[in-house]
Amino acid sequence: MSYTEVPGARVPIRMWADPATVEGAAMQQLRNISTLPWLHGLAVMPDVHLGKGATVGSVIAMNGAVCPAAVGVDIGCGMSAVKTSLTARDLPDDLSRLRSKIEQAIPVGRGLHSEPVDPGKLHGFQTAGWGDFWDRFEGVAPEVKWRRERAMQQMGTLGSGNHFVEVCLDKSGSVWLMLHSGSRNIGKELAEHHMTVARSLPHNQGIVDRDLAVFIADTPQMDAYRQDLFWAQEYAKRNRAVMMALFQDVLRGEFRRAKVSFDPVISCHHNYVSEERYDGVDLLVTRKGAIRAGSGDYGIIPGSMGTGSYIVRGLGNPASFNSASHGAGRKMSRTAAKKRFTAQDLAEQTRGVECRKDSGVVDEIPGAYKSIEKVMEQQRDLVEVVAQLKQVVCVKG
pLDDT at 56: 96
218: Cβ contacts below 8 Å, ≥ 6 apart: 64
Q: What is the pLDDT of residues 168-200, one digit of tens each?
A: 999 999 999 999 999 999 999 999 999 999 999
Any domain includes 228? yes
Any domain includes 190? yes
pTM for this structure? 0.96
Pairwise CA distance, residues 154 & 77, whole Å: 14
Any domain includes 7? no
63: annotated binding-site residue?
no
193: annotated binding-site residue?
no
Number of domains into which the chain is organized: 1
pLDDT at 7: 84
Q: What is the pLDDT of residues 256-306, one digit of tens each?
A: 988 999 999 999 999 999 999 999 999 999 999 999 999 999 999 999 999
328: annotated binding-site residue?
yes
Any domain includes 348? no
Which 3 state secondary structure label does DSSP give 77? coil
Domain range for residue 101?
Answer: 76-266+295-331+369-396
Any domain includes 306? yes
Any domain includes 233? yes
Any domain includes 135? yes
Pairwise CA distance, residues 40 & 279, whole Å: 10
9: annotated binding-site residue?
no
Residues known to be catalytic: 326
The domain spanning residue 185 has which CATH number?
3.90.1860.10
pLDDT at 1: 58
Cα–Cα distances (Å) from 340 to 107, 158, 273, 364, 368, in that order, read 29, 27, 35, 12, 9
Q: What is the mean pLDDT of residues 122-138?
A: 95
Any domain includes 124? yes
pLDDT at 397: 86
Q: What is the pLDDT of residues 210-252, one digit of tens each?
A: 999 999 999 999 999 999 999 999 999 999 999 999 999 999 9
270: annotated binding-site residue?
yes
What is the percent of the chain with per-residue pLDDT over 90, rounded to a whole number?
A: 96
Q: Is pLDDT above 90 for 53?
A: no
